[in-house]
Homo-oligomer: A and B are copies of this chain.
Amino acid sequence: MSEIKLISRRGRETRRAARSQQGAAKLPFIRRKIPVVELLHPEAIDIIEQNAETILQEIGIEFRRDPESLALWRAAGADVKGELVQFPRGMCRALLKTAPSVFEVHARNPAKTVQFGGDATVFSPVGGPPFVTDLDRGRRYATLEDMINFVKLAHTAPAIHFSGGSACEPMDIPPGKRHLDVQYSYFRYSDQACEGTPETPGHAADAVRMAQVLFGEAYVDSHAVLLGNINSNSPLTFDGRMLGALREFAAHNQGTIVVPAVLAGAMGPVTTAGCMAEILAETLAGMALTQLVRPGAPVIMGSFVGAVSMRTGSPTFGTPEATQMIFATAQLARRLGIPCRSGGSLCSSKQADAQAGYESAHTLLPTLLAGVHLVTHAAGWLEAGLVAGYEKFVMDVDQLAMMQALAAGMDLTERGQAMDAIREVGPGSHFLGCAHTLANFETAFYQSTIADYSSFEQWSSEGSLNAEQRANAVWKKMLADYVDPGLDPALDEALKEFMARRRSELSDAVEED
């Protein structure tokens, strides 16, 4: 009761001194100053690691429709029967000793090169939805224009450090040729680093060739400039398309993320310890394969975690099960000495409502605290990943900037300790006008771009807008504020020539594996 009275009284007094928000500058990737949180006891990690080795040895992983992978495994000493590969205990882990624990993915603007591993955390936007939504036009199939809009939003958002890949699928382009426009858009409309199109070996090869046009062949061979996202077909299976793409990226020294997509209860058991053993087994096998292709190729251990609702069978996010698995992923990757990807701002909600807020926050905060290195789907994800939301995107990037502030840790300098302020103010007064406040208030706290802190009366007089409605204006302003980083006309022309040639060679349908 007293709490509220105090708030109201003091709240009014600062308002006079308040200043408008400063322009938000692009932030470098996070170098965390807070400890990593280990939610699982070391004994739990031991159990999961041992069970993963048992899965690899006694059950095995199927490598389907990719004789090259089977040949590599056979040569390495694994037990190959048909498409099933069984691994001597510890084999995959040993193969990963050649993989870097920290590596960079280079941007065409060197200031935006990002690091994976160590104390770095990199935020990357939503990837993959076939639909987009915004409050003006509603839910609809995504187009190339939408995808380019999301590239521009990710380029402009202060706390997005990496452009990701295919923020939404340009459904207006034939799937067999779509990857060219996707890769081009990422190279053209942002100078941040990005993913490479990973759907098939051919798409991966085209992404690498376009990167070679942009960066030069020798540079690409010695520097990772792409990250290919490789999903296993859980449980315990990789298909030929993903395997071919993985080999393509690794052979060219480009980064891969090996990501089982396991929803507990569907592609994994209904328990998190079971799912984590399965996830670890799959990703160990996939990551080890990159090292057979090219020892030293950069690779990230990924998990994409959720559970299925036992009422509807649909995917759920932001639940305790997902939280446990995000923490477990980061702990397992640390023990392995490999950078990791997990978490994001995941939700099942159809719109950017309270469900979206709760679920996204309950995914994102564990992701940050766990020490995840690459946070994919960190902004814009709706409806279990079927939809990229314009309003949700800018609501999430507001949260990302807050996470970046949290990761900076508590300021313990003389300024942070503020003993001069406490002495100056003394008992029974307030800090609104004291010297320390005046000197520091403009930079003291992150200023939310979405949250409304005004009085009920003011908020009502401004139309009683909810967060989603306020966000509608924010993404439009961000798109209007987008500054084209430009691209050397000769390089642009070379990329376009490559695409034109490939379009004439490719069919509209995606190649079979």
* Chain B neighbourhood of A273, CB < 8 A: 410-412, 416-418
Range of interface residues on chain A?
35 or more
Mark A81-109 against chain B: 1 for CB-CB distance below 8 A, else 0.
00010000000000000000000000000
Decide yes or no whether A59 CB sits under 8 A from chain B.
yes
20 contacts between A and B (CB under 8 A): A1-B231, A4-B129, A11-B315, A11-B384, A20-B311, A54-B419, A59-B423, A59-B427, A235-B426, A266-B431, A269-B422, A274-B422, A275-B418, A277-B417, A307-B445, A320-B405, A353-B357, A354-B357, A358-B360, A361-B362
* Chain B neighbourhood of A16, CB < 8 A: 313
- Chain B interface: which of A206-214, A289-297, A461-469? A461-469
CA distance A452 to B386 in the complex (A): 15
Q: Do A11 and B444 touch across chains, with their CB atoms under 8 A apart?
A: no
Q: Given A18-B312, A310-B442, A437 and B39 touching (CB < 8 A)?
A: no
Decide yes or no whether A191 CB sits under 8 A from chain B.
no
8 Å CB interface, A297-318 against B:
304, 306-316, 318
CA distance A359 to B365 in the complex (A): 12
Q: Do A314 and B419 touch across chains, with their CB atoms under 8 A apart?
A: no
Decide yes or no whether A507 CB sits under 8 A from chain B.
no
Decide yes or no whether A415 CB sits under 8 A from chain B.
yes
Q: Do B15 and A128 touch across chains, with their CB atoms under 8 A apart?
A: no
CA distance A16 to B308 in the complex (A): 13
Q: Do A350 and B464 touch across chains, with their CB atoms under 8 A apart?
A: yes
Decide yes or no whether A509 CB sits under 8 A from chain B.
no
How close is A462's CB to chain B, nearest CB, in angstroms?
A: 11
CA distance A312 to B272 in the complex (A): 44
Decide yes or no whether A356 CB sits under 8 A from chain B.
yes
- Chain B interface: which of A321-329, A473-481, A484-492, A493-501? A321-329
Q: Do A199 and B1 touch across chains, with their CB atoms under 8 A apart?
A: yes
Q: Given A265-B441, A319-B446, A426-B235, A410 and B44 touching (CB < 8 A)?
A: yes
Q: Do B3 and A237 touch across chains, with their CB atoms under 8 A apart?
A: no
Mark A203-230 against chain B: 1 for CB-CB distance below 8 A, else 0.
0000000000000000000000000000
Q: Do A417 and B350 touch across chains, with their CB atoms under 8 A apart?
A: no
* Chain B neighbourhood of A349, CB < 8 A: 451-452, 467
Decide yes or no whether A502 CB sits under 8 A from chain B.
no
Decide yes or no whether A114 CB sits under 8 A from chain B.
no
CA distance A321 to B446 in the complex (A): 9
* A263: contacting residue among B7, B235, B320, B416, CB under 8 A: B7
Decide yes or no whether A270 CB sits under 8 A from chain B.
yes
- Chain B interface: which of A30-38, A71-79, A143-151? A30-38
* A440: contacting residue among B271, B316, B321, CB under 8 A: B271
How close is A166's CB to chain B, nearest CB, in angstroms?
A: 7
Closest B residue to A366 by CB, please name it.
B365
* Chain B neighbourhood of A453, CB < 8 A: 309, 311-312, 314-316, 348
* Chain B neighbourhood of A353, CB < 8 A: 353-354, 357, 466-468
Mark A3-26 against chain B: 1 for CB-CB distance below 8 A, else 0.
110111011111111111100000
Q: Do B432 and A350 touch across chains, with their CB atoms under 8 A apart?
A: no
